[in-house]
Amino acid sequence: MTAQHPLSSSRIAGDELAQRMRTLGAAARAASAELARASTRVKNHALLAIAASLRARGGELLTENARDLDAARSTGLEEPMIDRLRLSEKSIEAMADGLEQVAALPDPVGEISDCKRRESGIVVGRMRVPLGVVGIIYESRPNVTADAAALCLKSGNACILRGGSEALHSNQAIAISVRAGLAEAGLPAAAVQVLATTDRAAVGHLVAMPEYVDVIVPRGGKGLIERISREARVPVIKHLDGNCHVYLDDSADATRALAIVLNAKTQRYGVCNAAESLLVARSAAGRLLPDIARQLAGMGVELRCCADTLELLRQSAVDARLLKPATEADWYEEYLAPILAVRIVDGIDQAIAHINHYSSHHTDAIVTDSHEHAMRFLREVDSSSVMINASTRFADGFEYGLGAEIGISTDKFHARGPVGLEGLTSQKWVVFGNGEVRGG
Amino acid sequence: MTAQHPLSSSRIAGDELAQRMRTLGAAARAASAELARASTRVKNHALLAIAASLRARGGELLTENARDLDAARSTGLEEPMIDRLRLSEKSIEAMADGLEQVAALPDPVGEISDCKRRESGIVVGRMRVPLGVVGIIYESRPNVTADAAALCLKSGNACILRGGSEALHSNQAIAISVRAGLAEAGLPAAAVQVLATTDRAAVGHLVAMPEYVDVIVPRGGKGLIERISREARVPVIKHLDGNCHVYLDDSADATRALAIVLNAKTQRYGVCNAAESLLVARSAAGRLLPDIARQLAGMGVELRCCADTLELLRQSAVDARLLKPATEADWYEEYLAPILAVRIVDGIDQAIAHINHYSSHHTDAIVTDSHEHAMRFLREVDSSSVMINASTRFADGFEYGLGAEIGISTDKFHARGPVGLEGLTSQKWVVFGNGEVRGG
């Protein structure tokens, strides 16, 4: 169960598992105090050493990854899952590169901001500090092991990583490089612990040890995230759905509207920031919808339409096989597929109301030339990312300049939208006094 | 149950109560959208109108408060509780004044910060927005009704307030002014709903409606807060304990040390930011402790001492009746009384370790002339407020310049330490584009 005994734990009994998880949690908690004190130089040293080790051990990583791939094929894992599981020279280089990018990011820890002198004489400010211990639970992609370790390390947090059982050998191979890098920089081995158990009960323990784990970040399918949210006894940084909207306003420019809808829907289908619903102002529908629909249909995108849309598009030479009437359920749906729900709305008010009702509060965009409507959309749409005249696909840590992201949050608490280093920290109050006491 | 039928609900059955709470939650949710859009001018208008109404209705408030006081005396409520319950001309003026102060604070809603242009061409920033609906559960002080309503209103949140049953008539009288002010400003009545039921089950429903309530702020005794934390299905902004420490470092100035310890321990005993433990560096104990102990003992403060402290103070003409040996439990204790735990530690390392182990992560202070020790204490003590050469009593929203506080958080998530208007908001990402789409 500990990092040093990677493969010994699959057969251990329930009580023993609980005890081992507590031991591991206690080690993480102890390491977190050391990490919180670690200098930027030492943390960057570790990150660069991990990158170098991953590059040096590329062959070994591919060998271990091949074991996972063989097992995955023999258990009949679906091809998209196998694809996510696969490492290559290129993806190993990308992992190493990612570690170096995180090393190059500014260290958020220790930053003091908002200092103000008060009438009493004290100076009050806020210091950014690590959260403590982060638990990350993810599925098949082994690169998350390196990415998540890097972000936690740089933000001064200890972490416990629990990857998918199908990636066990790949993750343990990556963990060897992580431990080597930590050791080279003189940081404790328990700063990053990669669980070697495939026992699902380990997750249940991990999310229910508030004394050892401060926050859980689940990355994966909705089922995983729902289960973790239900069982967690600590805060969870998460998003369940990405039901993202593009709204074409009365004054939307036709060229922009087309480009943004096509990009938001079709650049990648399986991602959380892809558009799943298109809303069009009634006054602009005749001008904009037919051309957009023809282009989407030409790419094989099925359109689930409101009655008005259906009527309009049936007269517009759109492939009729791709036109379907929308049901109420369609407005809630995250298709992650070449399907788009389309609704004609009366205007900005109904668009905002629709989005605030059906959206998963992930990312929603307006295409407009009206400053007033742009500002209303920005203020009133209650989502973690709200965009004017840009594709929903930009909702991403790299695109926002966070350098990297540990996940995306659709909650309003603590961290919202793409979560980078800052979301892995909190701010405590610091008071600089000169012997001041409080008056009567 | 609704604001319009203040006293009709004590006898309603369980199912009906659940349904009524849901109706009230839905009304709050609807009102929150209007409040989020409300201009600063309109919100301030409401705040000032509430203040004016409270002043104009002072006699009525005192009459209703007298009903609560009579009932409290007849049920044998303890004198400190009755004291908290009591309104006076002065406390009504203070409530009105508090509302005016909140009106004068900058409006956090809509502020856009951290705007950056990205290589893709988009400009990314963060906009501060309300959380939505805040549930506040509090005990005997009726002034919380006005204070909490003011902070929620200004931060653009709808709120549901559930005061103590002993303050029912006082709270309902204050609620009349709140409704009058909302109506005068044209804001919906459901922006602030003051529960009129005394049914404890209402709290259970309130904290378990994530679809209608975004966050709960419990204010009161540890029992109340523990119960709410256990039952809540939404985030809770809270602190359970205030086990605050003062650490006197090797180089602590004797005058400052004395002033800070006396202020932190004795200015008020029953408050969460009072010191409960005193740590003294071994090298400074002989120089500092005897005088401090004599002064504390002179004010009737009992000292629960480690063995070394006991030995030192028994030779120092400190009233022996006030010297007691400390048990392990004393290091965890929040006395809220004229009692102080005292321990001699080897130095800064042991002081930090002691605090991080026993502290409730509320507020901890060092008295030192060493810059290095001051900075280490600041960085390494994991508490919501960490102070150098200042009294722990400063940990307070007004003292920190927040204008007012809705509560204090000892959690690391979202809001930490005193929580003012900002803690009642979140930041969403806003993207200003010009037709940009994401590259391949």
**Beta strands in A368-406, from DSSP E residues, in sequence order:** 385-390
φ, ψ of residue B383 to 5 degrees: the values are -130, 165
**Percent over 90 (pLDDT), chain B:** 85
How would you classify the pairing of strands A112-117 and A123-130?
A: antiparallel
Tell me the count of A-B CB pairs closer than 8 A.
211
Give the pLDDT confidence score for residue B440 in this predicted structure: 58
Paired tokens of A216: 């859980």
Paired tokens of B226: 């523990």
Give the pLDDT confidence score for residue A220 in this predicted structure: 84
pLDDT(B3) > 80: no
Give the pLDDT confidence score for residue A192 in this predicted structure: 98
**Percent over 90 (pLDDT), chain A:** 86
Give the pLDDT confidence score for residue A241 in this predicted structure: 86
Identify the H or E element spanning B435.
strand B425-436
Rounded to the nearest angstrom, the minimum Cα separation between A256 and chain B is 5
- Residue among A288, A292, A285, A282 at smallest CA distance from A347: A282
- pTM value is 0.91
pLDDT(B89) > 50: yes
C-alpha A139/C-alpha A224 separation (Å) is 9
pLDDT digits (tens, 9 = 90+) for A241-267: 899 999 999 999 999 999 999 999 999
Cβ distance of B399 and A37 shorter than 8 Å: no
Is residue B384 within 8 angstroms of chain A, CB to CB? Answer: yes
Chain A CB contacts of B356 under 8 Å are: 33
Is residue B390 within 8 angstroms of chain A, CB to CB? Answer: yes
Report the length, in residues, of chain B. 440
Answer with the residue of higher pLDDT: A403 or A120: A120
Give the pLDDT confidence score for residue A14 in this predicted structure: 76
Give the pLDDT confidence score for residue B139 in this predicted structure: 87
Cβ distance of A430 and B385 shorter than 8 Å: yes
Give the pLDDT confidence score for residue B6 in this predicted structure: 40
**Percent over 70 (pLDDT), chain B:** 97
Question: Where residue A2 falls among pLDDT bands split at 50, 70, 90?
Answer: very low
Residues 174-203 of A with CB under 8 A from B: none
Question: Where residue B222 falls among pLDDT bands split at 50, 70, 90?
Answer: confident
> What value does the mean pLDDT take over residues A65-92?
93
Give the pLDDT confidence score for residue B78 in this predicted structure: 87
Rounded to the nearest angstrom, the minimum Cα separation between A8 and chain B is 33
Question: Where residue B8 falls among pLDDT bands split at 50, 70, 90?
Answer: very low
The complex's ipTM works out to 0.91
pLDDT digits (tens, 9 = 90+) for B230-259: 899 889 999 888 999 999 999 999 999 999
C-alpha A296/C-alpha A318 separation (Å) is 9
pLDDT digits (tens, 9 = 90+) for B377-433: 999 999 999 999 999 999 999 899 988 889 899 988 889 999 999 999 999 999 999
Best of A126, A237, A436 to substitute, by most chain B Cβ atoms within 10 angstroms, is A436
Q: Which residues 6+ apart lie within 8 Å of B418 measured at CB?
A: A429, B385, B395, B396, B397, B400, B402, B405, B407, B408
- Indicate the average pLDDT of chain A: 94
Contacts 24+ apart (CB under 8 A), B329-337: B330/B277, B330/B304, B331/B277, B331/B358, B332/B243, B332/B358, B333/B243, B333/B276, B334/B241, B334/B242, B334/B243, B334/B272, B334/B276, B334/B360, B335/B269, B335/B276, B336/B269, B336/B270, B336/B271, B336/B274, B337/B269, B337/B270
Is residue A223 within 8 angstroms of chain B, CB to CB? Answer: no
Residues 256-285 of A with CB under 8 A from B: 256, 259-260, 262-264, 267
Q: Do residues A63 and A169 make contact, with C-beta atoms less than 8 angstroms apart? A: no
Give the pLDDT confidence score for residue A276 in this predicted structure: 98
Q: Sign of torsion, CA B62 B63 B66 B67?
A: negative
pLDDT digits (tens, 9 = 90+) for B109-163: 999 999 999 999 999 999 999 999 999 999 878 999 999 999 999 999 999 999 9
pLDDT(B205) > 50: yes
Q: Do residues A2 and A23 make contact, with C-beta atoms less than 8 angstroms apart? A: yes
Question: Where residue A22 falls among pLDDT bands split at 50, 70, 90?
Answer: very high
Rounded to the nearest angstrom, the minimum Cα separation between B165 and chain A is 30
Q: Do residues A241 and A411 make contact, with C-beta atoms less than 8 angstroms apart? A: no
Cβ distance of B438 and A399 shorter than 8 Å: yes
C-alpha B170/C-alpha B140 separation (Å) is 10
Is residue A424 within 8 angstroms of chain B, CB to CB? Answer: no
Residue B394: what residue type? F
Count CA atoms within 13 Å of residue B336 on its CB side: 10
Beta-bridge partners for A219: A138
Give the pLDDT confidence score for residue A44 in this predicted structure: 98
Specify the 3-state DSSP secondary structure of B208: coil
C-alpha B165/C-alpha B200 separation (Å) is 9
Give the pLDDT confidence score for residue B12 in this predicted structure: 57
Chain A CB contacts of B399 under 8 Å are: 118, 120, 122, 124, 438
Answer with the residue of higher pLDDT: A60 or B241: A60
Question: Where residue B15 falls among pLDDT bands split at 50, 70, 90?
Answer: confident
C-alpha A250/C-alpha B253 separation (Å) is 70
pLDDT digits (tens, 9 = 90+) for B285-334: 999 999 999 999 999 999 999 999 999 999 998 999 999 999 999 999 99
Specify the 3-state DSSP secondary structure of B148: helix
- Indicate the average pLDDT of chain B: 94
Give the pLDDT confidence score for residue B241 in this predicted structure: 86
**Beta strands in A132-185, from DSSP E residues, in sequence order:** 133-138, 158-162
> What value does the mean pLDDT take over residues A73-98?
92
Considering all CA atoms of chain A, what is the largest pairwise distance in Å, rounded to the nearest integer? Answer: 80
Give the pLDDT confidence score for residue A12 in this predicted structure: 57
pLDDT digits (tens, 9 = 90+) for A90-124: 999 999 999 999 999 999 999 999 999 999 999 99
Cβ distance of A428 and B385 shorter than 8 Å: yes
How would you classify the pairing of strands B123-130 and B425-436?
A: antiparallel
Cβ distance of A413 and B263 shorter than 8 Å: no
Contacts 24+ apart (CB under 8 A), A303-309: A303/A339, A303/A340, A303/A341, A303/A342, A304/A330, A304/A339, A304/A340, A304/A341, A304/A342, A305/A341, A305/A342, A305/A343, A306/A342, A306/A343, A306/A344, A308/A282, A308/A344, A309/A280, A309/A285, A309/A342, A309/A343, A309/A344
